[in-house]
Structure 1
Amino acid sequence: MPRSTIRRAATALPVACLLSLSVTACSGSASGNDRTVRFGYIGDYNGASLLAIADNQGLWKKAGLTTQVKSFNNGPVQIQALSAGDLDYGYIGPGAMWLPASGKAKVIAVDTLTYADRVIGQPGKKSMKDLKGKRVGVPEGTSGDMILNIALEKAGMTTKDIDKVNMDPSTIVSAFSSGKIDGAGFFYPAIDTIKKKVPGLQEIASTKDTGDAFPTAFVAGNKVPEDKNRKVIKVLQQANDWRQQHPEKTITLTAKMLEVTEAQAKADASHVETLSTKELADKTKSGEVDAWLKKLGDFFVRNKQMDSNPDPSDYYDGELYQKAHAE
């Protein structure tokens, strides 16, 4: 089954009925089982690689846990599932970080720094000014929305200067490819799919050009107990260090999980900066991770996604992350 079919099939299921790596049964009662981890992810290298490793290396079993995983198109939908009690954990990109910052979930671990987000334009549209008054698709509340707002701000423009259209990622691919939208706030690896159909596509703005850090993260529902979070963090840390030590094998495992070619997974990984667990623990202790989150929070306030910017310690459990690393 191709990757896109997996996504459609997963999305069509009730949220409580999850595609499983370690557990093949579909159970609606998993929320009451402390040994079962219901995990959401996005079908890309960032979202899937640690889950692929944890399954392949038997890390969940070693921790006394079983997993049920489900693919989502974006982070905000996972946050909704966490709030509804249909997931225990999920993965989000930097563009959705305003949701845990707003109290909707807890960040339990930083995954990577990602630079995969772009504002793209149809051939000939080389600047934000070229998109003035034009239809620009974006999955609202995601990192695609984030880079679009960053680019507008830098160009001295606002969303009032464009015809912003909220679209899910698959719709953006088809709409841009068919010329129904003039631009998009979007991300790799989906942009590679568009490039095959629109070879003259323009990359107008990129998170690479900002000089800022854009952390991706794993999040937990607010009602998940701390002991379970500790076990899950430990598994993610072990998988993270395995990823650092075996980058090529990680590409292979991720490609297999996503049912894409290794070349596709490698291209996706090229937009990602990984850090060891020790580096992440040290950067948490020094306050650097908080600084990343604080800067994102300031941006979200400016864009009216949040009324105020909370202290990152209100929603990032960095202390628990450090304790798990020290064990």
Structure 2
Amino acid sequence: MKSIRAVGRRTAGLFLALALVSVATGCGGDSSSDAADGGPQKVRFGYIADYSGSVALAVARKQGLWKKAGITPDLKVFTNGPLQVQALGSGDLDFGYLGPGALWLPASGRASIVSVNMLGLADRVIARPGSGIEKPADLKGKKVAVAEGTSGDMILNLALSEAGLKQDDVKKVVMDASTVVTAFSSGQVDAAATWYPLIDTMKKKVPGLKEISRTQDYYPKLTFPNVFVTQPKLASGNPELVKKVTGVLKEAGDWTAAHPEESETVTADFLKLPAGQLKGSTQYVKILPSAELTKLSEDGTVDGWFDELAAVFGRMGKLPEPGKAEDYYLGDLYAEAGKADRS
């Protein structure tokens, strides 16, 4: 199996766009990964405030997994994955969460993947009723709202490619994910590329919206994992800490796989939402137990998921020189993480 290694050989010019993105507030300070005087180790962990982006952290807190591992998490909420990778690169964050649309970042050497969280089934291209859009080919010449660099951007590209269209065949309107909801709901755009649960909100405001393209349309040729990542230098410099954190994530994932409905309630409590607000979230993901993920990591299946998506990002122009998954997915570390605690 592949060894743990830092990855940083891609050209810096690929990330000029990220330089324009401000890091989320409250992420300053020196690295705090090393424990003092043998006490709990502190790690700064980024997440996104939806079910997929926070369920593992919610479960880890509820089940006391951090304390059991001797770790004190400093949790920081972000609105998207690229912001977290920016924070990892500046040393303001130790770990983070990425949806499938941001996987071009680790493929470019900016982060190391320590664990697959779950497989995403939530992304859609949707159209307003009366827009004349019934299929991807009908997007030509239409205004489409999308949060660039996210899984919405990815599903839009896949839909356009399926229809033989190019990016400039549509009027792409770039905005953040929350503004996509507003723009679509108010009729400022004809279509949007986004994901559940945001689409649930849009359905309430736009009855009869149409789903033009879905994640499932591309499965099994393409699989859409969301993942946890760390700084490449932390993975190579302190692999034992990374194993500890990954062990917590594996145990949280196993609990979630065994208690999917309860995990929705636990996550709602973590996010300070009404108990039933995340009900049904698990229908938009596929949760794999760690034993299955370990097997799929060892036989190369998970590498294949990442390599196929890297090819998609290459066609999108985000990855002129995509790395191979074996360079940025730490499958051997994932397989070893938590073994001592479970023996």
Same fold by TM-score greater than 0.5: yes
- Aligned to 2:201, which of 184, 193, 205? 193
Query: Are 1:236 and 2:249 counterparts?
Result: yes
Query: Are 1:43 and 2:56 counterparts?
Result: no
Conserved? CA contact 1:147–1:206, under 8 Å: yes
Please name the residue that 1:31 is paired with.
Answer: 32
Please name the residue that 2:126 is paired with.
Answer: 120
Please name the residue that 1:64 is paired with.
Answer: 70
Please give the alpha-carbon distance, in whole angstroms, between the structure 2 residues aligned to 1:32 and 1:188: 34
User: Could you tell me how far 1:308 is from its partner in structure 2?
Assistant: 2.7
Please give the alpha-carbon distance, in whole angstroms, between the structure 2 residues aligned to 1:14 and 1:229: 23
Which amino acid in structure 1 is aligned with residue 148 of structure 2? E
Which amino acid in structure 1 is aligned with residue 27 of structure 2? V
Alignment of 1:82-93 (within 5 A): 82-93=88-99
Please give the alpha-carbon distance, in whole angstroms, between the structure 2 residues aligned to 1:207 and 1:49: 21
Conserved? CA contact 1:31–1:86, under 8 Å: no
- Aligned to 2:283, which of 249, 270, 288? 270
Range that drifts further, 182-191 or 251-260: 251-260
Please give the alpha-carbon distance, in whole angstroms, between the structure 1 residues aligned to 2:157 and 2:209: 20
User: Could you tell me how far 1:227 is from its partner in structure 2?
Assistant: 1.5
Please give the alpha-carbon distance, in whole angstroms, between the structure 1 residues aligned to 2:321 and 2:193: 24
The change in CA–CA distance for 1:205 and 1:84 in structure 2 (over 3 A counts) is same
Gaps of 5+ in 1: 1-10, 17-27
SS at match of 2:232: coil
Please name the residue that 1:25 is paired with.
Answer: none
Please give the alpha-carbon distance, in whole angstroms, between the structure 2 residues aligned to 1:265 and 1:325: 29
Please give the alpha-carbon distance, in whole angstroms, between the structure 1 residues aligned to 2:304 and 2:329: 12
Conserved? CA contact 2:24–2:83, under 8 Å: no
Please give the alpha-carbon distance, in whole angstroms, between the structure 1 residues aligned to 2:262 and 2:144: 38
Query: Are 1:175 and 2:183 counterparts?
Result: yes
User: Could you tell me how far 1:33 is from its partner in structure 2?
Assistant: 4.1
Alignment of 1:1-327 (within 5 A): 13-16=25-28, 28-29=29-30, 31=32, 33-34=34-35, 35-124=41-130, 125-211=133-219, 212-224=222-234, 225-327=238-340
Please give the alpha-carbon distance, in whole angstroms, between the structure 2 residues aligned to 1:131 and 1:263: 35
Which amino acid in structure 1 is aligned with residue 186 of structure 2? S
SS at match of 1:31: coil
Conserved? CA contact 2:112–2:231, under 8 Å: yes
Percent identity reads 49
The change in CA–CA distance for 1:218 and 1:32 in structure 2 (over 3 A counts) is closer
User: Could you tell me how far 1:325 is from its partner in structure 2?
Assistant: 4.9
The change in CA–CA distance for 1:289 and 1:183 in structure 2 (over 3 A counts) is same
User: Could you tell me how far 1:267 is from its partner in structure 2?
Assistant: 2.2
User: Could you tell me how far 1:239 is from its partner in structure 2?
Assistant: 0.8
Instruction: Give the aligned length.
Output: 306
TM-score w.r.t. the length of structure 2 is 0.86
Range that drifts further, 237-246 or 150-159: 237-246
The change in CA–CA distance for 1:121 and 1:259 in structure 2 (over 3 A counts) is same
Conserved? CA contact 2:31–2:92, under 8 Å: no
Conserved? CA contact 1:281–1:325, under 8 Å: no
User: Could you tell me how far 1:266 is from its partner in structure 2?
Assistant: 2.4
Please give the alpha-carbon distance, in whole angstroms, between the structure 1 residues aligned to 2:267 and 2:26: 25
CA RMSD of aligned residues (A): 1.5
SS at match of 2:27: coil
Gaps of 5+ in 2: 1-22, 36-40
SS at match of 1:266: coil
The change in CA–CA distance for 1:12 and 1:143 in structure 2 (over 3 A counts) is closer
Conserved? CA contact 1:113–1:216, under 8 Å: yes
SS at match of 2:172: strand
User: Could you tell me how far 1:49 is from its partner in structure 2?
Assistant: 0.7
Please give the alpha-carbon distance, in whole angstroms, between the structure 1 residues aligned to 2:24 and 2:90: 17
User: Could you tell me how far 1:130 is from its partner in structure 2?
Assistant: 2.8
Which amino acid in structure 2 is aligned with residue 174 of structure 1? T
User: Could you tell me how far 1:57 is from its partner in structure 2?
Assistant: 1.0
User: Could you tell me how far 1:85 is from its partner in structure 2?
Assistant: 1.0
SS at match of 1:156: coil
